[in-house]
Structure 1
Amino acid sequence: MEEMIQRTLHKIQDHSAIKEVKQVSGGDINRSFYVETINHQYFMKGNEQVPSHFFRAEAQGLQLIKDTNTIKVPSVYHYDEPENGEEAMIAMDWINPGRKDVSELLGQNLAQMHQQTAQKYGYGSPTFVGTLDQPNAWTSSWVDYYRTYRLKKQMDYAKSLNRMPKIRQERLEKLLDRLEEWVPAHPEASLLHGDLWGGNWRTGEDDEPYLIDPSVLYGDHAFEIAFTELFGGFPNRFYEQYKEQFPLSDHYEDIKSLYQLFYLLVHLNMFGESYGSSVDSILKRYVG
């Protein structure tokens, strides 16, 4: 990996001496490194046996968020597009941590980002949610996008892993048939981070919140907020400031679990049956 880091520095034309390289925590998907040269501090992630668009999707998502001028993200300096299982790496800014509580500012800035909208729902290229490939398309109806490209894709993947027993599949198919009863067809098509759990934002030393590891799409902003509530990590001040900037629908509590269902299916497919009971509980609530 040291040779890969040297190659990456050469590609971004940082020819200054390396002061320090150390492996850091960065999830269970990639090998992650702090790299400091005379010129700059970088965060680099490396992987192999990944699709050619693996790091491109992340880099494009970060740039899309950055272009809104609403919330900060690390700048990306280079990403590889590997072929035939080659090693690949992405290099971006290292975010030196701050100590201030910026959850209120995170709520304000995220609400402003969510007010950047598109004419259609979805996204124009595939992304990833965790390690799973996420197909996308531009769709004129949010409920159609959510049914076809989110819930059904995860159901099909669960079937291939033998994690979709008969009763679970029957309930989920019934839910898909009735999804219009709860999920709106034409909410505002907000720019969403797409994988916003507590580990995918940071406080920088400039006392600003930063988003990392996006899986961007355009859709109902309630979809994003529902996921922030699924595993915790966001204080009440975040929600208070967010809702002041961009109120949620009166029907939010009715659809929150349906939006969380997607992420629970993702976790079922990535980590196994320990998430099955949570999936089943939501299905029973809506379709019996």
Structure 2
Amino acid sequence: MQKLLIKALKNIGDQSRIIEYRRVPGGDINESYYVRSQKHTYFIKCKKHPPQKFFQLEALGLEKIRKTNSIATPQIYGIGERDGYGYLMMEWIHGKKTGQTGEWLGRGLAEMHKHKGPGFGFQEDNYIGLLPQKNSYISSWIDYYREFRLEPQITLAVQKELLPTSTQKKLDKLLTHLDQWLPKDCIPSLLHGDLWGGNWLPGYNGKPYLIDPAIFYGHHEFEIAFTELFGGFPSNFYESYQEVFPLSPNYEERKALYQLFYLLVHLNLFGFSYLSSIENIVTRYVG
């Protein structure tokens, strides 16, 4: 691994000696390292035989968010490959939350969500975790959510034999009636796409940073619904978000329907422990 780290530094023009490197927590997918050279400090993610364009798409998402000038992302230093390992080099972010961190995070995310896309979707396929996500730009949010988000996850879960037949039938019914709960006239907002509590972190003086995106343009309430699914966001995050980009009066009615997608993703990634939550949501909407 040290040889890979040395090459990664040389590829960005850092020829100085590595003073320290150590493996750090970085999720279930990649190996992650803190690397300190005589010149700079880096965070490097690597994976053996990564899926096609895996780190390039992550970098694209971070850069897309950065260009909105709304909320911070780590600076990207380089992407490369050595001995079958792909890697992504970024700025090392380290800090502690302050009383203002949640407020800054909420305001920043709301400002990011105000950036409108040419349609719902994205110009490139990408990944959520290791699961591929097909993308295209279409004009209907309801059709996009059905065809590009829910249906692929349901199909995969059926292939993996993770969904009982009775649940499949209810999901089919739900898919045909999405227009009862989802808005027909929302704007396509730039979304992080995988914003749970582990995909943001505080930097210097508590400044919040977004990491590990799976970006696309969609209904902004879809993103907020996921932040409520597993926790990890302070209360003033929601207060500040609402001041900038208020949620609709119907948000609570559709929130679980948006959380359904992420529960299907977790079902496909981690197995049956998420099935009962999925069945509860489906029963709530279609009986």
Partner SS, residue 39 of structure 1: coil
> Match for 1:227: what amino acid?
F
Distance 1:235 1:225 in 2: 13
Distance 1:242 1:277, change over 3 A: same
Aligned AA (1:260): Q
For structure 2, the residue ranges without an aligned partner over 5 or more in a row are none
Is 247-256 or 183-192 further displaced after alignment? 183-192
2:173 match:
174
Give the letter aligned to residue 115 of structure 2. Answer: Q
Q: Distance in 1 between matches of 2:285 and 2:52?
A: 39
Within the candidate set 94, 97, 103, 1:96 is matched to: 94
Q: Secondary structure at the match of 2:20?
A: strand
Output the CA distance in 1 between the equivalents of 2:286 and 2:50. 38
Aligned to 2:6: 6
Distance in 2 separating the partners of 1:251 and 1:244 = 17
Which ranges of 4 or more aligned residues in structure 1 deviate by more than 3 Å? Answer: none
1:13 aligned counterpart, secondary structure = coil
Q: Does 1:266 align with 2:245?
A: no
Aligned to 2:198: 199
**What are the superposed Cα offsets for residues 185-225 of structure 1, whole Å, 9 maximum, x if unpaired?**
33111100011011111110143110000010101000000
Counting aligned pairs with the same residue, the percent is 49
Alignment partners' CA distance in 2, 1:242 and 1:265: 26
Q: Is the 8 A contact 2:73 2:211 kept in 1?
A: yes
**How far has the Cα of 1:250 moved from its partner?**
1.1
Q: How does 1:135-214 map to 2 (within 5 A)?
A: 135-214=134-213
Where 1:6 maps in the other structure, the secondary structure is: helix
C-alpha separation between the residues in 2 aligned to 1:112 and 1:126?
Answer: 25
Residue aligning to 2:230: 231
Normalising by structure 2, we get a TM-score of 0.97
- The answer on 1:46 being equivalent to 2:54 is no
Name the SS of the counterpart of 2:206 in structure 1: coil
Instruction: Give the corresponding residue for 1:24.
Output: 24
CA distance in structure 1 between the partners assigned to 2:195 and 2:61 by the alignment: 13
Q: Which amino acid aligns with 2:64?
A: L
TM-score (norm 1): 0.97
> Contact conserved, 1:56 with 1:81, CA < 8 A, in 2?
no
Aligned to 2:183, the other structure's residue is in SS state: coil
Instruction: Verify the 8 A CA contact 2:98 2:205 in the aligned structure 1.
Output: no
User: Aligned letter for 1:8?
Assistant: A
Tell me how far apart the structure 2 counterparts of residues 90 and 235 of structure 1 sit (CA, whole Å).
29
Following superposition, the deviation at residue 246 of structure 1 comes to 0.5
Tell me what 1:221 maps to: 220
State the Cα distance separating 1:160 from its structure 2 match: 1.2
- Partner of 1:68 in structure 2? 68
The alpha carbon displacement at 1:81 in A equals: 6.7
CA–CA distance in structure 1, aligned partners of residues 8 and 133 of structure 2: 27
Alpha-carbon deviation of 1:99?
4.2
Residue of 85, 88, 111 corresponding to 1:87: 85
Which secondary structure does the structure 1 equivalent of 2:204 belong to?
coil
d(CA) in 2 for partners of 1:32, 1:223: 29
**Shift in Å, 1:87:** 1.1
Unaligned runs of 5+ in 1: none
Contact 1:144 1:185 (C-alpha < 8 Å) held by counterparts: no
C-alpha separation in 1, matches of 2:81 and 2:192: 22
Contact 1:52–1:81 (8 Å) recurs in 2: no
Amino acid at match of 1:221: H
Query: How far has the Cα of 1:4 moved from its partner?
Result: 1.0
* Residue 260 of structure 1: how far off its partner (Å): 0.2
Give CA-to-partner distance per residue, 1:52-94, whole Å, 9 cap, x none. 2110110000000000000000011111378xx9211100000
> In 2, distance between residues paired with 1:264 and 1:99?
28
